[in-house]
Structures are given as structure tokens and as C-alpha cells.
Amino acid sequence: MSKNQKHATSRGARRIVWVLGTAGGIIAGALASLWFLPELLLTHWVGVSDLGDAERAEATLGVVQIVALAIGGIIAIVGVVISVSRHHEEVASNHRDQARLEAERDQELRSRYVTAVELLSDAERPIKRIAGLHALGALADDWQNIDREDEVQVCINTICDYLRQPPELDKAAELKRTAATEVAIRTTAFDIIRNHLHEDAPSSWSSHTFRLAGAHLDYLVDLRWARIMDNGYIDLSGAAITDNGSVRLSGVRITDNGQIDLSGATITDNGSVHLSGARITDNGHIDLNRATITDNGSVIFIVATITDNGSVHLSGARITDNGHIELGGATITEHGSVDFSMAAITEHGSVDFSKATITEHGSVDFSKATIADNGTVTFDSVTPADDRKLFLRGGKFDGGELHLPGATIMGDGSLTLRGDTITDMDAEVFELAGVKITTMGAELLDVTGVTIDDDGKLRFDKPTIEGDAAIDLSEASLMGGGVVVMPCHIR
């Protein structure tokens, strides 16, 4: 018998003795009262000394009844007191038992955590590391079942800590790559994370934090159809996605201040991030600020939807050496935004918005961006409509190209190149071949303060201008270059 059990037994025995002693005392007192009180009351209170025997007997019976009722009331009150005391004791005992059970449960769960970490730390046997990861996932589920989200986060942190560690390399490979056995382990870890980020996951981790900053990813990471919401955060800042490594986030939904952070990441050597069909909404964010996309690296946003203050940030990003950002068919609407401010698109780096739709206060911002050395930005058949804006203010075009063939700009939509510099061009830097411009009472194309220098060219190839649309070239500077204006249709 444990010490706590002995203590509880001792308390129970003392309580029984107290109850029996109290009850016995009350019974003894009641019997004594019935024997002595009637005579005392008759003699000193009722005053029956001159009564006959019959009258005295009748008075005595009345007094006895009064005394009996009084004693009965006292006994009832004492019974209630004892009952209430017993109830409080039972409640306290239940609380003690519950606290003991919870402490034993927590101790057992924490013991499982220690065992899982020991398995994950086994450097010799990969199968044990995989078992450790599954054990952590199951343990997190059990913590979540009792609403201990803090302990769930501890399990997630441990899985992420493993993924952040430098991987075991394949020593036989010509290039340094993660060993196949290590890839299997790390893929298992990401599968566990993905299974908890699905919309229909029994135990959801969508509002938790995943700290994977600086991770080395040269293998497939499958996080398709994940849900990041309610301040959920996947931190891949500074990650290296390289050597055909790929982070698959197709169909991801980022909402309610959820965020995927790839700031400062390097996506190179055919590395890729796939966000096709992503929905970024309700202040959801994807951060690629200062990221480097190079050497055939790519970030794919095909048919993504960026809406309701959702945003994609590529401020200061470097897209170079055949690096590519694909936003073909994307929809940017309801104050959704894509920010390329101060980005550098150079050395055959490219950004493609072909067939994208920019509506309902959506915006694309290339303010102070540099497009140079055969870098290209394409807006093929883009539709910025109804007070939606494309900004290229303060940008620099130095050997780069910006194409908007077949674009439609309508309503109060606008395209702004205010303060851009176009220089050293052997071909058209800014081409509006077949663009349809139809706007009501607002300047569509604002080229205020643009500098066209050293064979730089601004080309308008057969655009259609309708209604009150206007192309404003006021204050543009032509220095050694020119503005090429092909025949326009003005209606």
C-alpha cells in the first residue's frame, strides 16, 4: 500500500469515528433530555405543583412532546451538517483522485516523450528514428485529446529540430546529397506533418508553428493541400532548396494570419517550390523577401488565388540565371497583392503573369525593381480591371524586357511606370502589342518622369484605346534612345 493510500485510509477511519461519536453523543443527550427536562419544565416553568395527578400527567405529556420535537429538530440539523461535511469530503477526495490520475497520466505521457526522443537519437538504426517520429506524432495526438496544445507544440518542435539538423550525406555520390536512408526518415517526418495539416485531419496542427529555418532540402517535401490558419506559421526562412529538391504546397490554403516564410531562402539547381492552386486569403501571407531563385530554380503559383488582403512578398528577391517565378492564370483580387518592389530580375531570370487576372483592388508592385541583362517580366493577356493597379515606379530596365501582349486594362485600371529608367536596349523593353486600353476618366498608362536612354525603347504596337483612356508621356526624358509608337486604334 502506498503512502498516499495509507494517508487516505487513515483520514477515512478518523471520519467514521467522528461521525459515530457524534451520533452516539446526540442519542445519549436526547435520552437524558427526555428523562430530566419534562420534570424541570413542569416544576420551574409551567408551575403545576398544585395540580392533581391526572392534570399533571396530561401536562407532562405535552411537555414531553415539545422536548421530543425540539430534540428531533436538533438531530435533523446535526444530520444535515454531517451530510454536508460528508459531501465536501467526498468532493475533496474526488479532486484528489482526479489530480492523482492526471499526474500519473502526465508522467506516463512524458515518459513516452523520453522514449521517442531516445529512438530518434539512434544514429545507427534508421528504423528506430522512423519509429521515434511516429511515436512523437501519436504522443502529440494524445496531448491534443486533453487540450494540452503546449505539449503538442513540444512534440512538433522536436520533429522540426531533427529536420533542421544537417543531413547525413551519401558518401558514394559524386555530389554531396542527402543519403537515401536519411531521405526516407525525413520524408516520413514531413508526411506526419502533412497528415496533421489536412483539412479533415482528426488532430489538426494548422494553427501551430513549424520552425524549419535553414533546413537543407534536396529531396521531395510533400505538403500538398495543407491548411495554415489561425496564426499558423511554417518557417523555412534561409532554407536551401537545391539539387532537384522540391517543396510541394499545391492546393495549400493560407488564411486567418497564417504564414509560410521563405524569406532569404535559396532555390537553386532545379530546386522548386510549387504553390499551384494555392489560396492565400484573409491576411494570409507568403514571404519570399530577399529570396534567391537561380540556376533553374523556380517558384510556381499557377492559378493561385490571392484575395481578401492575402499577399505574396518578393521584395528584394533575386531572380537570376534562369530562375523563374510563374504566376500564370493567378487571380489577384479584393486587396490581394504581389510585391516585387526592389526585386532584381537579371541574367535570363523571368517572371510570368500570363493570363493572370487582377481585379477588385488587387495590385502588383514592381516599384524600384531592376529588370536587366535579359531578365524578363511577362504579362501576356493579363486583365487588370476596375480600379486595379500594376506599379513599376522607379524601376530600372537595363537590358531587360517587360511584355504585355494581349493584355486588357479596363474600368479605372492603371499601369504606372513613373520614374523608371530604360537604358542600353537593343530590343523593345516595354511592349504593348495588341493591348486593349479602355478606361473611364482616368489615366491608364502613366509614364511621368520615365528616362529612356542609350537605345532604350518604349513600344506601343497597335494598342486599342477606347473611351476616356489616355497614355501620358509628359515629363518623360528621351536621351539617345527613342519612343517607338506603332499605329494605334483610338475610339
Q: Over the stretch 84-120, which tens digit does the pLDDT of each residue have? A: 777 777 777 777 777 788 888 899 999 999 999 999 9
Show which of 57, 74, 109 is a domain's final residue: 109
Question: Could you tell me the three cell numbers for 396?
Answer: 530600372
Question: Could you tell me the three cell numbers for 379?
Answer: 504579362
| Confidence (pTM) | 0.75
Show which of 109, 142, 158 is a domain's final residue: 109
Q: What is the mean pLDDT of the chain?
A: 78
Average pLDDT over residues 62-82: 70
Query: Is 85 or 485 the better-scoring residue by pLDDT?
Result: 85
Instruction: Please state, in angstroms and rounded to a whole number, the distance separating the CA atoms of residues 296 and 271.
Output: 7
Instruction: Please state, in angstroms and rounded to a whole number, the distance separating the CA atoms of residues 264 and 288.
Output: 7
Eight-state DSSP code of residue 57: H
- pLDDT given at position 389: 54
* Whole-number Cα distances in Å, 441 to 171, 410, 411, 438, 467: 67, 11, 9, 10, 8
> 220 lies in a domain?
yes
**How confident is the model over 391-402, as pLDDT tens digits?**
555 555 555 566
Question: Could you tell me the three cell numbers for 177?
Answer: 546529397
> 186 lies in a domain?
no
Instruction: Please state, in angstroms and rounded to a whole number, the distance separating the CA atoms of residues 370 and 16.
Output: 88
Instruction: Please state, in angstroms and rounded to a whole number, the distance separating the CA atoms of residues 446 and 448.
Output: 6
> 183 lies in a domain?
no
> In this model, does residue 471 exceed pLDDT 70?
no
Find the distance separating the first CA and the last CA of the chain, reported in whole Å: 98
Q: Determine the Cα angle at 214 with ends 272 and 128, to 5°.
A: 95
> 114 lies in a domain?
no
- pLDDT given at position 312: 98
| Whether 216 and 104 share a structural domain | no
| Whether 214 and 102 share a structural domain | no
Name the residue with cell 508526411: 191
> 194 lies in a domain?
no
| Whether 462 and 316 share a structural domain | yes
- pLDDT given at position 375: 87
Instruction: Please state, in angstroms and rounded to a whole number, the distance separating the CA atoms of residues 256 and 295.
Output: 34
> 338 lies in a domain?
yes
Show which of 56, 78, 109 is a domain's final residue: 109
Domain count, the chain: 2
Hey, what's the torsion of the CAs at 185, 187, 188, 192, to 10 degrees? Answer: 140
- pLDDT given at position 490: 40
Half-sphere exposure of 256 (CA within 13 A, CB side): 9
What domain range includes position 40? Answer: 3-109
> 359 lies in a domain?
yes
Hey, what's the torsion of the CAs at 77, 79, 85, 86, to 10 degrees? Answer: -160
Instruction: Please state, in angstroms and rounded to a whole number, the distance separating the CA atoms of residues 169 and 167.
Output: 6
**Beta bridge partner(s), residue 414:** 389
- The answer for residues whose C-beta is within 8 angstroms of residue 357's C-beta and 6 or more apart is 330, 331, 332, 333, 382, 383, 385
> In this model, does residue 440 exceed pLDDT 50?
no
> 135 lies in a domain?
no
